[in-house]
Amino acid sequence: MPTSLNRYAVIGNPVEHSLSPQIQRMFAEQTGIAMTYEKCHAELDKFTEAVQQFRKQGGKGMNITLPFKEQAFELADILSPRAELARAVNVFLFTENGKILGDNTDGFGLVRDLQHNHHCVLEDKAILLLGAGGSARGCLGPLLDEYPREIIIANRTLKKAQALADEFQRFGSVRACGYDDEYVLDPEDGFDLIINTTSASIQGEMPPLANHIIADGGICYDLMYGLSENPFLDWADSESADIIADGLGMLVEQAAESFHVWHGIRPDTGSVLAGLR
Ligand code: NDP
């Protein structure tokens, strides 16, 4: 039986739907690491208290999900460079000297899923990133690390896309625009990769995209997963995108990276992803 020293949890509100316990248990079984992993529901104004209580009860680390990633960023004593850039934290490691180390594995998870599971080459590719919220911010750094030709950020609220482009253009070619901009309506050679980071799919909607903007061999990726209907992925299908993917792979890959932060071991994700599908 794992001791309290091997206690982990995902904290969120709501958290009931989370697949993280299932994924982490599969990783633990596969690697032979004895640990427990539970769901921790925190009231919206009681995030810090819930984290401290879990820690006092012997917790060694946590995943943080919506809507607490920004609060987690504020609470961490030490931040990894990728958490600093994302300004959001989805993993805590409670260190032996009483500090909270905050990391962000979301963007890593996306890039790893694209490259490892979908065999996608990002170097020199034209990427259209839909949305300019927290997840777009978290994905930008890891995407730019792979040297794409350019990233166009399109968002309903243009000034949010512009702020992100201004901040990230020191790492590569990043431009912001609205959905009615000619860069999005009529790109020169089409986009090699379109990533939907908006929450439109949950509302049964998709950003207003023109047809014929996907390059030959192009990929369409939605961060959302588990929806019975996804208008963006349906659109990608009708536009004959070569690869169409939801965010389940990203979820599993960010979880594997969290596992690595806690235990120093990277579990195999292929079998876990296949099991969940
Ligand atoms: P935010 O609330 O920070 O941002 C939402 C974005 O969606 C904004 O850019 C907003 O535009 C845009 N948007 C919302 N509704 C519409 C619409 N109807 N049409 C066009 N644009 C719209 O959310 P997050 O970035 O934190 O999360 C986005 C999604 O990513 C969530 O669904 C989340 O579940 C998923 N996610 C998946 C992960 C995974 O592991 N697979 C990890 C992290 C997130 P505006 O600025 O104009 O309001």
What residue owns the CA closest to ligand 1's atom 4? 133
69 is catalytic: yes
Cβ atoms of 63 and 91 within 8 Å: the answer is: yes
Distance CA 40, CA 175 (A): 39
Distance CA 39, CA 18 (A): 8
Q: Is the CB of 199 under 6 A from ligand 1?
A: yes
Ligand 1 center to 196 CA (angstroms)? 8
Q: Is the CB of 178 under 6 A from ligand 1?
A: no
Mean pLDDT of the chain: 96
pLDDT digits (tens, 9 = 90+) for 236-249: 999 999 999 999 99
Domain ranges of the chain: 4-104, 107-249
pLDDT of residue 212: 96
Ligand 1 atom at shortest distance from the alpha carbon of 131: 9
CATH number of 4-104: 3.40.50.10860
Distance CA 217, CA 230 (A): 21
What residue owns the CA closest to ligand 1's atom 16? 200
pLDDT of residue 188: 87
Among 106-110, 226-230, 271-275, the minimum mean pLDDT is found in: 226-230
pLDDT digits (tens, 9 = 90+) for 143-191: 999 999 999 999 999 999 999 999 999 999 999 999 999 989 989 899 9
Ligand 1 center to 197 CA (angstroms)? 5
Q: What is the mean pLDDT of residues 206-221?
A: 96
Ligand 1 atom at shortest distance from the alpha carbon of 157: 47
Cβ atoms of 41 and 66 within 8 Å: the answer is: no
Distance CA 214, CA 148 (A): 16
Ligand 1 center to 57 CA (angstroms)? 34
Q: What is the mean pLDDT of residues 40-58?
A: 97
Distance CA 90, CA 139 (A): 13
CA atoms within 13 A on the CB side of 56: 6
Ligand 1 center to 212 CA (angstroms)? 24
pLDDT of residue 5: 60
What residue owns the CA closest to ligand 1's atom 34? 224
- The answer to whether residue 3 scores a pLDDT higher than 60 is no
pTM of the complete model: 0.95
pLDDT of residue 259: 98
| Catalytic-role residue among 69, 125, 159, 160 | 69
- The answer to whether residue 2 scores a pLDDT higher than 50 is no
Q: Is the CB of 17 under 6 A from ligand 1?
A: no
Cβ atoms of 100 and 77 within 8 Å: the answer is: yes
Q: What is the pLDDT confidence band of residue 1, given thresholds at 50, 70 and 90?
A: very low
Q: Is the CB of 249 under 6 A from ligand 1?
A: no
Q: Is the CB of 256 under 6 A from ligand 1?
A: no
CATH number of 107-249: 3.40.50.720
Ligand 1 center to 135 CA (angstroms)? 7
Q: What percent of the chain is modeled with pLDDT above 90? A: 95
pLDDT digits (tens, 9 = 90+) for 121-146: 999 999 999 999 999 999 999 999 99
Q: What is the mean pLDDT of residues 87-101?
A: 96
- The answer to whether residue 74 scores a pLDDT higher than 70 is yes
- Which two structure tokens, joined as six digits, stand for 153? 């950020």
CA proximity to 275, closest of 16, 18, 30, 11? 30
What residue owns the CA closest to ligand 1's atom 3? 133
Q: Is the CB of 198 under 6 A from ligand 1?
A: yes
